[in-house]
Amino acid sequence: MRERALQTWEIAQLIRRLQASAPDRLTSLRSDSKFSFLLDDALKWAESGDPVRAVLDLSAAAAEIENGPPDAAEAREMADAILRAADWPRPLRIQYLSDLHASLPVDLTIPDTGADVLVIAGDIADRWEGLRWVVDATSAPHIVFVAGNHDPVGEDHHEYRRKIRLIEAENPTRIHVLENGVLELGDLVILGCTLWSDFELAEISVDRALQQADEHMIEYQRVLDYTRWHGPRPVTPGQSYLPPTLSAATTRGWHMASRDWLDRTLRAYAGWQRLVVTHHAPHPESVTPRAGDRPHSWTDFAFDHWAPGAYASDCSDLLEHAEIWIHGHTHRVEDYTACGCRVLSNPKRDEVAHDPARCIELDVGP
């Protein structure tokens, strides 16, 4: 929260006072509205150290008081005082970054912008501890993370997912690892997944593009996938073997599954503000060459006929159902509109345009 905002423990203390104020006069209100439920929920979030959700629920509770009987005026006045002290209502501030590619915790530079939500759209580091480095490097009340293609390097992909879920479990009200998952804040819903790509944007056949990716891209060389290991393993002492790695065909299947999930979930949240976070890009514009630049800083034309298909997919049908879409992976800062959706990217690897303090602000109702 902002500097003049209340501390979380102060919000909890004031909510308890509000719950205890004039209980006899509020009996009918509690039985006829959502007031009691919202206030209990606000206290739960405040006690768990989540000021954003606490104030959002308190704001909704205050709206219920406003529609209550005249003798609820005291409670309404107290709720208004808490909201004013908490600097509410105000826009929800969202800071977004991607492709940090840190080798050590000291490599992370995440400035304090007063953001309520820090979005990391993948590729913190080539190791699973990267998420913990981010958690330690920021004071944001909420951290939203979707994994990138580099994050599981050197790990079995499924073991990597287990490890970052354990980090999330240490503080689930603050850390949100999204893989086909959502986070609700007021009338804002954040939907997240890696997304991967479908390779349809390649200039060659999909099958040939998958083969090229398997041969050249780091995720298909150094990310392991023990689910592909069929048959007996070597048992002879000193015998060498290569562990199975992730395949482009597998990640294409994951893309299809995430795409289906996004389609169903975006439609289910119709009427909400919908913000999607993915690592891979959702539109060809993110891999379209621009004057004086090559999309991924490649210099070998042998890659250009297939590699864009590994970095982006044409998800125009999904963009139509979202207001904002944040992605990473392409190593180029983006801010354009496609199919009525604002598409954003802020990768550290774009050394010219990257701004670690870049934020957007959204008006979020209860």
Cα(348)–Cα(109) distance, rounded to whole angstroms?
10
Q: What is the pLDDT of residues 203-228, one digit of tens each?
A: 999 999 999 999 999 999 999 999 88
Cα(195)–Cα(312) distance, rounded to whole angstroms?
9
Q: What is the pLDDT of residues 23-59, one digit of tens each?
A: 555 544 444 567 778 888 888 988 888 888 888 888 8
Q: Which residue has the higher pLDDT, 336 or 35?
A: 336
Apex CA 89: angle with CA 88 and CA 92, to 5°?
A: 95
What pLDDT band is residue 89 in, cutting at 50, 70 and 90?
confident
Phi and psi at 145, nearest 5°, equal: -130, 130
Cα(287)–Cα(200) distance, rounded to whole angstroms?
13
Would the pLDDT of 79 be above 60?
A: yes
Inter-residue contact 343 to 286 (CB < 8 Å): yes
Q: Which of 309, 135, 146 is nearest to 212 (CA)?
A: 309
Cα(42)–Cα(17) distance, rounded to whole angstroms?
13
Q: Residue by residue, what is the 3-state secondary structure of the chain? A: CCCCCCCHHHHHHHHHHHHHCCCCCCHHHHHHCCHHHHHHHHHHHHHCCCHHHHHHHHHHHHHHHHCCCHHHHHHHHHHHHHHHHCCCCCCEEEEEEECCCECCHHHCCCCCCCCCEEEECCCCECCCCHHHHHHHHCCCCEEEECCCCCCCCCCEHHHHHHHHHHHHHHCCCCEEECCCEEEEECCEEEEEECCCCCCCCCCCCHHHHHHHHHHHCCHHHHCECHHHCCCCCCCCCCCCCCCCECCHHHHHHHHHHHHHHHHHHHHHCCCCEEEEEECCECCHHHHCCCCCCCCCCCCCHHHHCCCHHHHECCCHHHHCCCCEEECCCCCCCEEEEECCEEEEECECCCCCCCCCCCEEEECCCC
Would the pLDDT of 235 be above 80?
A: no
Kindly report the pTM of this predicted structure: 0.88
- Range 125-145 average pLDDT: 94
Q: What is the pLDDT of residues 13-29, one digit of tens each?
A: 888 887 776 455 554 44
Beta bridge partner(s), residue 125: 102
Which residue do the tokens 């606000």 mark? 42
Task: Report the pLDDT value the prediction gives residue 95, as an integer from 0 to 100.
Answer: 98
205 C-beta neighbours (distance < 10 Å), count: 11
Supply the mean pLDDT for the chain: 87
